[in-house]
Structure 1
Amino acid sequence: MYAEGKCVYMKKTIAIIGLTSLAGFYAIFSKPNQLKPQTIPTAQHVDSLKEDESESSIAKLYKEIALEGKLKFEAFEMAMNGYYNMSFKNKDIITVIDFSLPSTEKRMAVIDLKNKKMLFHTIVSHGRNSGEKYANSFSNEHGSHQSSLGFYKTVNTYQGGNGYSLVLDGLEKGINDQAKPRAVVVHGADYCSQSIINSTGRLGRSYGCPALPRDVAKPIINTIKDGTMLFIYADNKTYLAQSKVLKAKPTTLIAQKDIVETQTGQGVMN
């Protein structure tokens, strides 16, 4: 009996050892669960996410201000990209002029970013040598009598030959930085009126100044003076290729409400 019991005991022990070995063998050689490696975002990926978030924020702001049908999104988007890459004393107000439109349409929009509303929407004249109904040619040269595209900072007001006027400081070197020496200013003009459009089929033209109707010139100038941004847009390949402001990556998102100083500290892109 003792021998038989011992034999049974040995058989059970061998069976247990066999099962344990088999389990160990399976654990070692079976294929482990595949875990997805953790993705570490690269600097390029982070920049891309920031750009996407910035673009979506601009689109949201565009809708909140109800600009559709009044100002092209492309013009507003470029204006905001520049706004976030330069420094302005007065961050609440921006002005966008869309010279891709004919002079018979309202091409100037003055926008209150703080309160998210459009303050003015009006016609505006372009330079006489930039084109007739449409502004197609642009220049930074003295005596060209053409408009200049790009980003400007509004400065001081004065009473001149064209009445109450607003000095503009061009912020893009080689593109519009001669605006002040050329005396390119915002002012009122009799040739910028609906009656001129009705009689000639287009607005009268300036020597390069963004001229406004007499009745709105003063209130607009008083609204945008002293350090606000003014952006003149056109679907112009030369400008889009040359503008360092537009090529710069947005350095801050709309929700942050911060403006980053340019490298020169003066707002002019070298």
Structure 2
Amino acid sequence: MMENISVVRRQRLKLKSRRMVRRVLPFVAALFMATPMAAPVTRSKAAATNPKTHLPKVAVSKATLFDQKVRDLYRDLQVEQQGLTFEVFEKAMTGYLNLEEAGKVSDKQLLTVVDFSLPSTQKRLWVLDLGSKQVKFHTLVAHGRNSGENMATTFSNENESNKSSLGFYVTEGEYVGKHGRSLKLAGVDEGYNTNALMRSVVMHGADYVSEEFIRQNGRLGRSLGCPALPMDQKDAIIEAVGGQTAMFINGPDSRYSSKYLNQDVAMSTLLDNSQMI
């Protein structure tokens, strides 16, 4: 009889132990799952102490740097507000830098830009001081009489065409001619303006380049192909830009091309020139 009671008690104790295990097991499992693993903690600390470890290295291309420098210069000159587009400015700068690399321009760091895609009633000539990043002159300029009325639409390199010629020029010396004080221009773009000296395409002043003429006629007067200037500014402009400085005449002609629009040469020259950066 005592043996049977002992067996029953042992069975009850086993049953009670099993129930206890079933109650405690979920808490133990939950506690285990909530405890962070050692390896991830170690990686997290490493990342926090050296945040640059996994950052990719980004190489800035030469072309990107060149574009940024030209845009910075365009912004500093504040010529966008005056009507000079970035597209025309970039062309002019590319040519200037090519001419500089070729040793064709002086160290004056002056660039004259004429944009004949604008009407004659608008100030479309800029003399830019690239060293000081200032606009020295911004004024009216006439185109050739056979290039168009208010808008210049056709251009030529031919003698007696009485048309303007597009492209890059290098200024030469002064002389006194039928228009008074004048400045010789040497065209350097073969097929577009290399006859400029022979045609006597020069910078000079003219009475028909004025606001008064515009009010009376609805446009400027026109030259025989010269970029004619206002009489009250021509002396100062000629004196400033004379002596191997660059000039670029832009116009609405998609066929125009130039060996001086070499981007690789321009990039190397600008990025090596600390005075303009």
TM-score (norm 2): 0.73
1:1-270 pair list within 5 angstroms: 49-70=61-82, 71-87=84-100, 88-239=105-256, 242-249=257-264, 250-257=266-273
Change in Cα spacing, 1:248 to 1:116, as seen in structure 2 (3 Å) is: closer
Moved over 3 A (4+): none
Counterpart residue identity of residue 258, structure 2: S
Q: CA deviation at 1:236?
A: 1.6
- Contact 2:66/2:270 (8 A) holds in 1: yes
Aligned residues: CA RMSD: 2.1
Structure 1 partner of 2:19 = none
Cα distance in 2 for partners of 1:257, 1:225 equals 23
Q: CA deviation at 1:51?
A: 2.2
Q: CA deviation at 1:90?
A: 3.3
TM-score (norm 1): 0.75
- Contact 1:149/1:232 (8 A) holds in 2: yes
How many equivalent residue pairs? Answer: 214
Residue deviations 1:32-63, cap 9 Å, x none? xxxxxxx9x9xxxx9xx222221111000000
- Contact 1:90/1:226 (8 A) holds in 2: no
- Contact 2:142/2:220 (8 A) holds in 1: yes
Q: CA deviation at 1:247?
A: 4.5
Counterpart residue identity of residue 104, structure 1: T
**Structure 1 unaligned residues grouped into runs of 5+:** 1-38, 259-270
- Contact 2:98/2:262 (8 A) holds in 1: no
1:96 is paired with a residue of what secondary structure?
strand
Identity %: 46
**Structure 2 unaligned residues grouped into runs of 5+:** 1-56
Q: Which has the higher helix share?
A: 2
Larger Rg computed on CA atoms = 2
Q: CA deviation at 1:254?
A: 2.5
1:111 is paired with a residue of what secondary structure?
strand
